[in-house]
Amino acid sequence: MIGLILAAAGAGSRFGGDIPKQFSSMSGKPLYLHALEPFVEFLDEAVMVVSEAWKDRVEEQIQLLPYRGKLLLQTGGPERQDSVYRGLSRLSDSIQIVLVHDAARPFVSQGLIARVVEQTRQGGACVPALPPRDTVKEVDFLKVLRTLDRRRLRLAQTPQGFEINLLRRALEQAQKEDFYGTDEASLVERLGAPVYVVAGEPENIKVTWKEDL
Parallel, antiparallel or unpaired: strands 97-102 and 160-163 = antiparallel
Q: Does residue 14 carry a pLDDT above 60?
A: no
Q: Does residue 10 carry a pLDDT above 90?
A: no
**Average pLDDT rounded to a whole number, residues 125-145:** 96
Q: Which residues contact residue 162 at a Cβ distance below 8 angstroms, ignoring those fewer than 6 apart?
A: 97, 98, 99, 100, 120, 124, 125, 126, 170, 184, 188
Q: How far apart are CA 112 and CA 202, in angstroms?
A: 11
Q: How far apart are CA 71 and CA 44, in angstroms?
A: 9
pLDDT at position 79 is: 93
**Average pLDDT rounded to a whole number, residues 43-70:** 92
CATH 3.40.50.720 applies to domain 2-212: no
Give the C-alpha distances (Å, rounded to integers) separating 24 from 29, 42, 72, 95. 8, 25, 21, 31
Q: How confident is the model at residue 15 (pLDDT cuts 50, 70, 90)?
A: very low
Give the C-alpha distances (Å, rounded to integers) separating 40 from 2, 17, 36, 69. 10, 30, 7, 11
Q: How confident is the model at residue 17 (pLDDT cuts 50, 70, 90)?
A: low
pLDDT at position 16 is: 46
Say how far residue 42 (Cα) sits from the centre of its chain.
16
End-to-end CA distance of the chain: 33
In this structure, are residues 165 and 125 in contact, taking their beta carbons and an 8 Å threshold?
no
Q: Which amino acid is at 58?
A: V
Least confident interval from 9-23, 44-58, 114-128, 187-201? 9-23
Model confidence, pTM: 0.92
pLDDT at position 209 is: 64
